[in-house]
Amino acid sequence: MQDLKALLPAEIAKEITLLDLKPYRARQIFQWIHQRFARNFEAMNNLAKAERELLKQHFFISDLKLEKVRISKDKTKKYLLRLTDDHFIEAALLLDEDRKTLCVSTQVGCPLNCAFCASGKLGFIRNLTAAEIISQIEFINKEEGGLNNLVFMGMGEPFLNYENTLRAIRIINDREGLNIGARKISVSTSGIPDKIREFAEENLQVRLALSLNAADNQLRSYLMPLNRKYSLPQVLLAIDAYIKKTGRRVSFEYVLIKNINDRDIDLIKLIAVCQKRDVQVNLIPLNPHPGSVYQSSEKAGFFKKELQAAGINCGIRFRRGLDIEAACGQLVFLKSSAK
């Protein structure tokens, strides 16, 4: 049986016409799933009973379960979600006066093992399906209402689950579904050149962020093992190609770690990398997690001042959800989490 949650309206139409259902029913089904969050066909009361029975025989609508939610003193929420195979993922909701931003996961665990990130300590378990990626977004939207920003910066590397991530984005972006604007969606990658170039060819206005963290190739390889396969010069060439193709600015995410990548020489190299590119630098003071040997830098303000003086757009990402381990680099499920 096929999961209708992971199909676009035209794909649903193609499938149901094989069952002699009218193609216009596809839009209705899509709206039931992605606007009204139906999880069974019985709820679709503008379809005839016989049509609902036929759909039930050939398709299903997947879902996930809320295992636990933790709420920070700053109102950030972290959701522990159970998948149908009893694996877990986490997602974080950041609340502002006029904005609700969800940090979305794309993999169970993460294969990259970046030195400063808790998620990578889990190792890689599996990719999320497109339906599972959509489910975490729609589940939390149903609970909270009004999601208007998505950042694919949770557990996992989105570009190592490229097809499912892009399919999920297209479905969430569809006007008949949640209709979250592409410019309200950001995808972060640690740097996979061929996928960055492929992403530039997609007909989407989605924003791209690069997890940079060091402007020196050797240091970046130390912090991010993926850099040993795809060197910083290779990644930057792909970023240049992306900017040229799309005309869109790229965000460089830079986690500041005390005495590791916050030295004067690191700042000089960062300025050199950014000055000749249309980028926005987001400085992120390291968020601690159990077992980490690193400390957060206190130089974010200094880095911001110097970067701006060099003509580079720069901001500091303020810590959110630190007390519930929902901040950047802290998303990690443990077996004890579900208890």
List, for residues 167-212, the tens digit of each pLDDT value: 999 999 999 999 999 999 999 999 999 999 999 999 899 999 999 9
Whether 328 sits among the annotated catalytic residues: the reply is yes
Q: Are residues 72 and 53 in the same domain?
A: no
| Structure confidence by residue, pLDDT tens digits, 70-106 | 998 988 999 999 999 999 999 999 988 888 999 999 9
Q: Are residues 120 and 268 in the same domain?
A: yes
- Structure-token pair, residue 282: 């987001």
Phi, psi (deg, nearest 5) at residue 142: -65, -40
Higher pLDDT, 116 or 62: 62
Using 50, 70 and 90 to split pLDDT, how confident is the model at 216? very high
pLDDT of residue 157: 97
Whether the predicted pLDDT of 331 surpasses 70: no
Give me the catalytic one of 103, 114, 274, 328: 328
pTM reported for the whole predicted model: 0.94
Using 50, 70 and 90 to split pLDDT, how confident is the model at 339? very low
pLDDT of residue 332: 64
Residue 256: name the closest of 283, 274, 232 by CA. Answer: 283
Q: In three state form, how does the secondary structure of the chain look? A: CEEHHHCCHHHHHHHHHCCCCCCCHHHHHHHHHHCCCCCCHHHCCCCCHHHHHHHHHHEECCCCEEEEEEECCCCCEEEEEECCCCCEEEEEEEECCCCEEEECCCEEECCCCCCCCCHHHHCEEEECCHHHHHHHHHHHHHHHCCCCEEEECCCCCHHHHHHHHHHHHHHHHCCCCCCCCHHHEEEEECCCHHHHHHHHHCCCCCEEEEECCCCCHHHHHHHCHHHHCCCHHHHHHHHHHHHHHHCCCEEEEEEEECCCCCCHHHHHHHHHHHHCCCEEEEEEECCCCCCCCCCECCCHHHHHHHHHHCCCEEEECCCCCHHHCCCCCCCCCCHHHHC
Per the prediction, the chain carries an average pLDDT of 92
Whether the predicted pLDDT of 330 surpasses 90: no
- Structure-token pair, residue 92: 């974080």
Using 50, 70 and 90 to split pLDDT, how confident is the model at 272? very high
Greatest Cα pair distance in the chain: 70
pLDDT of residue 191: 98
Number of domains into which the chain is organized? 2
Q: Are residues 313 and 271 in the same domain?
A: yes
Q: Are residues 74 and 214 in the same domain?
A: yes
Q: Are residues 315 and 236 in the same domain?
A: yes
Q: Are residues 170 and 216 in the same domain?
A: yes
Q: Are residues 138 and 81 in the same domain?
A: yes
118 Rama sector, left if φ>0, alpha if ψ -120 to 50, beta otherwise: alpha
Give me the catalytic one of 15, 51, 90, 138: 90
pLDDT of residue 203: 87
Whether the predicted pLDDT of 231 surpasses 90: yes
Q: Are residues 56 and 94 in the same domain?
A: no
Within 13 Å, how many C-alpha atoms sit on residue 78's CB side? 24
- Structure-token pair, residue 245: 């193709």
State in Å, rounded, how far the first CA of the chain is from the last one: 33
Using 50, 70 and 90 to split pLDDT, how confident is the model at 321? low
Q: Do residues 305 and 337 lie in contact, with contact meaning Cβ atoms separated by under 8 Å? A: no
Q: Are residues 137 and 244 in the same domain?
A: yes
Phi, psi (deg, nearest 5) at residue 91: -135, 150
**Percent of the chain residues past pLDDT 90, beyond the cut:** 83
Average pLDDT for residues 47-51, to the nearest whole number? 96
Q: Are residues 200 and 228 in the same domain?
A: yes
pLDDT of residue 217: 98
User: 165: domain CATH number?
Assistant: 3.20.20.70
pLDDT of residue 335: 41
- Structure-token pair, residue 75: 């109102």
Whether 198 sits among the annotated catalytic residues: the reply is no
Range of the domain at 329: 65-338
The residue behind tokens 């959701």 is 79
Using 50, 70 and 90 to split pLDDT, how confident is the model at 142? very high
Q: Are residues 183 and 239 in the same domain?
A: yes
